């Protein structure tokens, strides 16, 4: 867009289109924001920020500020054009009012306001309004400050001018409605991570985050002129790149634009992070398909041309992606997402566009940079040889199991039920806890697999080493679905895979190891929601014959006060659970395994990505980042054990 277009294109009420009235958001909030859990709570912030980013995409906004205020209210400020305040033709109402009170109202549907947008199908502002206890919006436009106020979607103050201004932009402040959400406490790190992602995806856009709650001083500024090139460098910050250069490719056709950045490192796992209109697509889609197909074809063609691949030799797609970090960002006018939460992109023409861009530009890059081309191809060919070794190792394991007459590990206490949809397996840290779990379980549908000893560091291990590892092999065999490219979800023997480890540093380490293993070698387990973490209690409180447990220090204090009933003279005995192994089987069942009373946390891809990043940091070869992390987080370990 030219400078003249930026100046002359006014964003007015006529570009706000109304498709339908605001209905049922408060009755079925999950339909609009995914869930009413912590992820849905944070989604409110993203929806408002997405509107500001749409202004940046259109070329009108250069700065966005996101603040968590006292009382967990949120303020999002931008320096865009400001939401239109003139009369919207269809309704005869101010466009600002329409945007915040009518579902599917926005400048994203007619094509005049925005060519591409990241908001959740354009419903963002009205849904956030409907799910907020109160919301205030101020628009700086034409020298005036316009203001409207709402409560649970209803207007409490019609639009009026409240002051003068020399800037342009929109300021939205809202308080999530506790009637709608399981929690209304915001996590600063979650918001900061998302905002950093958006800053990477929008080169030159400055995003600032603040945490203004009592006792907190978090403030961060993200501004990346290199865009997704810098994103790849950041993702590889704890790894050793095979070449310092980040390969960048971009192209467009009609209203669709694609840009990619990629760099190989000396690790064995692939990291592909994809976006459509700045929205993360964790399950990939057509843009990832197009990239993978082109990468495999280009590298095989290059191998033949340089005679590094001879005869019928070829390298598979998985081999080509070993050690690859890649960011794919596409922008298109009519993005088709599978599901309301935009997990997967479905536009077929994007696959063709990405394929063409990568096929043409990567081939040219390899021709012009033969040294890098040789490094990449050597890496892929080594991966291919390792894959063959893994296949032989896998066959050896199968033959060994066949000779032994049993395919299940000896330490597994299996359940009686054979329907995987009805069964669950507890992977338990230590033989002692495993023994208690076996005694306390419901053997009809609960299986127990104890782990013992030090697990393999999967940071520097390929699949052939995994198959031969006596600590991980029982997990692979018990689950029954295979590994890596051979993973077959239909053979999974349990549809709940529950990691049960102590609530201390060692337990966290075990969880991190297992999550990283699943993330790298059994990713569908996490993508499809089969993996859970058991949440054991930290404290036991006894008053007479009344026994209660608490899962945090805050809950301990609250339960203690409740048991005392306001009387300081009442004695409540408080003890800390030392570990799962020290609970008797009845305690373990009641607190951690009984479906009626236990707490399980479903592991998401975000959890797995974070575990993978921490594992790479702590187990990788780079010493300095590890030292910095330990020094920064040492205080967290002080009170973990009593």
Residues with a catalytic annotation lie at 429, 502, 504, 506
What DSSP string describes 436-499? HHHHHS-TTTEEEEEE-SPPP-GGG--HHHHHT-TTTHHHHHHH-S-SGGG--GGG-S-SEEEE
Cα separations (Å) of 14 from 53, 84, 108, 119, 167? 21, 9, 12, 19, 23
Cα separations (Å) of 597 from 187, 535, 536, 592? 26, 11, 11, 8
Count of alpha carbons within 13 angstroms of residue 203, beta-carbon side: 10
Burial of 26 (0-12, 13-18, 19+ CB in 10 A): middle
- 3-class SS of residue 368: helix
Count of alpha carbons within 13 angstroms of residue 251, beta-carbon side: 17
- 3-class SS of residue 614: helix
Percent helix / strand / coil, the chain, rounded to 5: 40, 25, 35
Q: Name, in order, each residue with C-beta under 8 angstroms of 267's C-beta and a sequence gap of 6 or more.
A: 239, 323, 459, 460, 616, 620
Count of alpha carbons within 13 angstroms of residue 449, beta-carbon side: 22
Q: How many other CB atoms are there within 10 angstroms of residue 606's CB atom?
A: 15
Pairing of strands 132-141, 144-151: antiparallel
Phi/psi for 591 (5° steps) reads: -95, -30
Cα separations (Å) of 381 from 96, 140, 300, 302, 390? 58, 58, 10, 12, 14
d(CA 551, CA 503): 9
Element (H, E) at 631: helix 623-633
d(CA 47, CA 127): 9
d(CA 200, CA 329): 10
- 3-class SS of residue 278: coil
d(CA 150, CA 152): 7
Element (H, E) at 542: strand 539-543
Comparing CA positions, the residue from 93, 107, 102 lying closest to residue 16 is: 107
Count of alpha carbons within 13 angstroms of residue 170, beta-carbon side: 27
d(CA 122, CA 335): 12
What stretches of 193-255 adopt beta strand conformation (E)?
206-211, 219-223, 247-253
> Does the CA dihedral 520-524-526-531 come out positive or negative?
negative
d(CA 451, CA 474): 9
Pairing of strands 256-264, 271-276: unpaired
Phi/psi for 261 (5° steps) reads: -135, 135
């Amino acid at each position: 867009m030219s400078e003249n277009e930026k100046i002359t294109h006014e964003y007015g009420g006529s570009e706000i289109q109304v498709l339908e009235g605001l209905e049922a958001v408060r009755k079925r909030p999950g339909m609009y924001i995914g869930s009413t859990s912590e992820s849905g709570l944070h989604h409110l912030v993203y929806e408002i920020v997405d509107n500001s980013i749409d202004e940046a995409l259109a070329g009108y906004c250069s700065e966005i500020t996101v603040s968590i205020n006292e009382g967990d209210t949120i303020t999002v400020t931008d320096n865009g054009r400001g939401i239109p305040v003139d009369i919207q033709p269809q309704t005869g109402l101010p466009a600002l009012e329409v945007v915040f009170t009518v579902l599917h109202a926005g400048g994203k549907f007619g094509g005049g306001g925005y060519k591409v947008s990241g908001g959740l199908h354009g419903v963002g502002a009205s849904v956030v309004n409907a799910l907020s206890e109160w919301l205030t919006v101020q628009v700086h436009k034409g020298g005036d400050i316009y203001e409207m106020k709402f409560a649970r979607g209803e207007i409490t103050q019609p639009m009026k001018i409240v002051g003068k201004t020399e800037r342009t932009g929109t300021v939205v402040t809202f308080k999530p409605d506790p009637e709608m959400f399981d929690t209304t406490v915001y996590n600063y790190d979650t918001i900061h991570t998302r905002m950093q992602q958006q800053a990477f995806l929008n080169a030159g856009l400055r995003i600032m985050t603040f945490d203004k709650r009592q006792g907190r001083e978090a403030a961060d500024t993200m501004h990346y002129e290199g865009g997704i090139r810098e994103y790849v460098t950041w993702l590889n910050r704890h790894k050793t790149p095979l070449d310092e250069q980040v390969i960048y490719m971009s192209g467009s056709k009609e209203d669709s634009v694609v840009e990619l950045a990629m760099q190989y490192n000396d690790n064995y796992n692939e990291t592909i992070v994809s976006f459509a209109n700045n929205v993360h697509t964790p399950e990939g889609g057509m843009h990832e398909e197009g990239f993978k197909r082109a990468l495999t074809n280009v590298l095989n063609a290059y191998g033949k041309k340089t005679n590094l691949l001879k005869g019928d030799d070829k390298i598979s797609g998985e081999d080509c992606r070993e050690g690859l970090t890649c960011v794919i960002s596409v922008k298109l006018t009519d993005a088709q997402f599978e599901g309301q939460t935009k997990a997967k992109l479905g536009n077929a023409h994007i696959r063709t566009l990405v394929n063409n861009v990568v096929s043409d530009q990567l081939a040219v890059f390899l021709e012009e940079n033969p040294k890098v081309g040789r490094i990449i191809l050597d890496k892929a060919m080594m991966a291919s040889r390792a894959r063959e070794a893994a296949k032989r190792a896998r066959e050896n394991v199968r033959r060994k199991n066949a000779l032994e007459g049993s395919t299940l590990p000896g330490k597994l206490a299996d359940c009686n039920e054979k329907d995987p949809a009805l069964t669950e397996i507890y992977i338990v840290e230590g033989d002692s806890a495993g023994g208690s779990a076996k005694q306390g379980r419901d053997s009809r549908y609960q299986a127990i697999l104890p782990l013992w000893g030090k697990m393999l560091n999967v940071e520097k291990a390929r699949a052939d080493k995994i198959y031969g590892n006596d600590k991980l092999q029982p997990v692979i065999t018990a689950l029954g679905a295979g590994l890596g490219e051979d993973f077959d979800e239909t053979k999974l023997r349990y549809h709940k895979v529950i990691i049960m480890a102590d609530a201390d540093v060692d337990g966290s380490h075990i969880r991190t190891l297992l999550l990283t293993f699943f993330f790298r070698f059994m990713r569908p387990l996490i993508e499809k929601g089969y993996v859970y973490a058991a949440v054991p209690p930290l404290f036991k409180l006894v008053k007479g014959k009344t026994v209660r447990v608490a899962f945090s220090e805050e809950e301990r204090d609250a339960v203690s006060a409740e048991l005392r009933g306001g009387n300081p003279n009442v004695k409540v005995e408080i003890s800390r659970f030392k570990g799962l192994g020290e609970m008797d089987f009845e305690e373990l069942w009641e607190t951690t395994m009984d479906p009626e009373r236990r707490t399980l946390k479903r592991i998401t891809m975000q959890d797995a990505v974070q575990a993978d990043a921490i594992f790479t940091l702590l187990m990788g070869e780079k010493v300095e980042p590890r030292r910095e992390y330990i020094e920064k987080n040492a205080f967290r370990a002080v009170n973990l054990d009593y």
